[in-house]
Amino acid sequence: MRILDRYIASEMLGTLLFGVVAFSSLFVGSELVSLARLVAESGTRIEPALRLLLLKMPQILVWTFPMSVLLATLLSLSRLSAASEVVAMRAGGLSYWRLVGPLLAIGLAVSLATLALAETVVPRANHESQRVWVEEIQGGKLSTVSRNVVLETYEGGRISRLLYAAEFDSSTQVMTNVSMVEFEGGHPVRQTNAERLVW
């Protein structure tokens, strides 16, 4: 990486960090007001309320990363342009594509990190936050039963098996009222029905 690339990247990264903190604080402030009201009105313990806030942070980061990248790109290019550094870089023989290369690389890296976070951490954190909300704050019991479950299996781009269950209890791994249809060449050839199936 050239010195100029590092310079442009450092301009963007500082603003990117500021954007993440600023935008996240807006979401966190809103959540804090809601949780403070909840603790004051219902007498909920502070510990599960704070854990609920921490579990919402991955989702908040997924929301704030794209906004922060946009803000960082605009502000860093604006600052470079205001100080006539873009003019100096262009006079030095840099094309516009070469100039924005580090910004595009950072944007792509943040996009991939956001995608990884959204696909791995966020679903687990959201499920756990729902459990904390229902079981520890409201005093209820989180349902483990899913209704109308459909599972499809494909081979060579064509469906090979379709499984339907009226209910699936994830705590016992049991499906009820199950129908399974097997396909050959895209056409159904066999159907199996069961009142109960253990996954």
Mean pLDDT by runs of 10 across the 199 residues of the chain is 81 92 93 84 80 92 95 90 81 80 92 95 90 74 75 88 89 88 90 90
Indicate if the alpha-carbon torsion angle 147, 153, 158, 160 is positive or negative. Answer: negative
Q: What is the pLDDT of residue 144?
A: 65
Write down the pLDDT at residue 179.
Answer: 93
Instruction: Report pLDDT for 141.
Output: 63
Query: Residue 140: its pLDDT value, please?
Result: 63
pLDDT at 194: 93
Per-residue model confidence (pLDDT) at position 75: 92
Q: With CA atoms as reference, report the closest residue to 163 among 184, 191, 127.
A: 191
